[in-house]
Structure 1
């Protein structure tokens, strides 16, 4: 059981009142929703002593590093809260450090595969700052596959917290098949994801969105609102099957996801690549004690920018000492209508 965390509810509940202290600047970070060749998604189990998302299952990712990822947009830079090179490199670097899966390509376009002992040593050295990620990939004859990342929302921590992040989310599809230099089609073998030795994570595992959401509903795993919400959005497309799906069927699922990303979801004109979520507490339900979080606003840093979140959905969650439980995504109108009926 994780230790009590009295500030947990505040992490995703922002009141309408202004913060008493100066608003902290959100630190740039990035995460990847990594999709396997069978259209499962990777989650990492964070250690219970972590300063954020303790004991939860999360997507691989973390803070950007100027020494590793290149120039990070400054506080007043327009690119601070926009998809860019540093965010992409940081997302791929963190994924490698945390899971051992390297998203880099060779000259023939196939994914770069690295021997286990070389890969594991590099993970430790890069994490420790002894080795520059981009230089290491280049030394192996590879190129970081940043162009294959699909932006899928940004999350900005509410302004009432002392520690804040501006996190760019991406989707990356591991190849269904791979063509060698001799034009021979072969299956891409994904290295078994592993933890980082308990530094930040204790396990790394692929499972379907449906499986992860079901485990969270049963209380078997802990998912914070961003992870639950994003997998909820993907679950209608990446549907698991009791029998293996053909390459054509798997690709059809992926095409449906890519089509979804091109839409705005609520008629506000902001595509999923550009949506920004800064969760705000709408109300506390008396019926089940769950908080209702609105995802409509992008946060104070982007007021007047034209950016927006999701105006149609809300996230319901009960915050306990151990973490968020009973997480659910529902239509905003339905939830508000239920509250109106409760008051009659």
Structure 2
């Protein structure tokens, strides 16, 4: 008796462990990196700094069937801080016994970035040389995302929020000029062309105007952050005083803690289509890997959905909506079309 087509389907590829950081500047702006068109992951998109976990640099990676593979842990924290350094040059580390982030002369910093990226120096050795410690404890878990099973290249990505220290006076990090990153030399290619801090609202506006590409996880998290890290209506976030910046941060941290965003695990699932042809993605599923463990408590969010137009060049017309409202609108538009 011939086997069904379902039984002949290949099992989904195991998701690779990775980590990313929503890096908040002293002006409460978010760092995004622009990936090149030839990138194997998220081509041409704007992304948070991050990448795959490395056993060489970050420590032992939990096995495919290990529950720890899909939970926050030191290996993910090390990967997040290392990748941020490699990709943006910002070293989230502190001098032993001192407050504030460690400062590294530009020439030494750029050499270390290239060496770590090429694998000729361990990231932890770079820190030892600077008598510095990676600021692991100030990484705040902010959802985990597991790629759906219909995508060949899958990841289990731990997202973090990191708040760079507020300055004693007006924030001085630039928000209007592009900071061009050095070219990686490990394979002679280029991963990112630029790194830039902008208010979350500005990044969302650029995506809505089709000026940049944001994938659903990045768009959704920026949407959440934008409700709290609000720039001045006159001249941008850099004009806000220190007290206002701190109040915004405190409100965001309270939101994350109250709604347990640090424990949410999201594997987007297709629900339906809108009247204009966009896919509606549910965010309530945690993915087969989590469901198989039957541990509970690792759900996504049933409050929100993301709708998106998947095109050859990447996702477009991405937006976030309340699940009940969006599905009701889809049902009503379907009824109208049949009348």
TM-score by length of 2: 0.89
Does the aligned pair in 2 maintain the 1:101–1:193 contact within 8 Å? no
1:229 and 2:217 aligned: no
Alignment CA distance shift 1:19-1:109 (3 Å): farther
Alignment CA distance shift 1:130-1:71 (3 Å): same
Alignment CA distance shift 1:119-1:283 (3 Å): same
1:159 to 124, 149, 154: 149
The whole-number CA distance in structure 2 between the counterparts of 1:51 and 1:295 is 25
User: What does residue 217 of structure 1 align with?
Assistant: 208
Alignment CA distance shift 1:101-1:188 (3 Å): farther
User: 1:103-125, CA deviations, whole angstroms, 9 ceiling, x for partnerless residues?
Assistant: 00012122100000000000000
1:139 to 90, 106, 129: 129
Does the aligned pair in 1 maintain the 2:50–2:83 contact within 8 Å? yes
Stretch moving more, 214-223 or 69-78: 69-78
Stretch moving more, 237-246 or 112-121: 237-246
How far did 1:188 drift?
7.9
2:181 to 184, 195, 201: 195
Which structure carries more helix by proportion?
Answer: 2
* Structural mapping, 1:305-320, within 5 Å: 305-306=295-296, 307-320=298-311
User: 1:67-123, CA deviations, whole angstroms, 9 ceiling, x for partnerless residues?
Assistant: 000111111222110000000010000000000000000121221000000000000
Relative contact order, higher structure (CA 8 A, sep 6+): 1
How far did 1:21 drift?
0.9
Residue 155 of structure 1 aligns to a residue in which SS? strand
User: 1:133-185, CA deviations, whole angstroms, 9 ceiling, x for partnerless residues?
Assistant: 011111111100011100000000011222110000000011113xxxxxxx6
Gaps of 5+ in 1: 1-16, 178-184, 265-270
Stretch moving more, 241-250 or 54-63: 241-250
Runs ≥4 in structure 1, deviation > 6 angstroms?
186-189
User: What does residue 164 of structure 2 align with?
Assistant: 174
Residue 327 of structure 1 aligns to a residue in which SS? strand
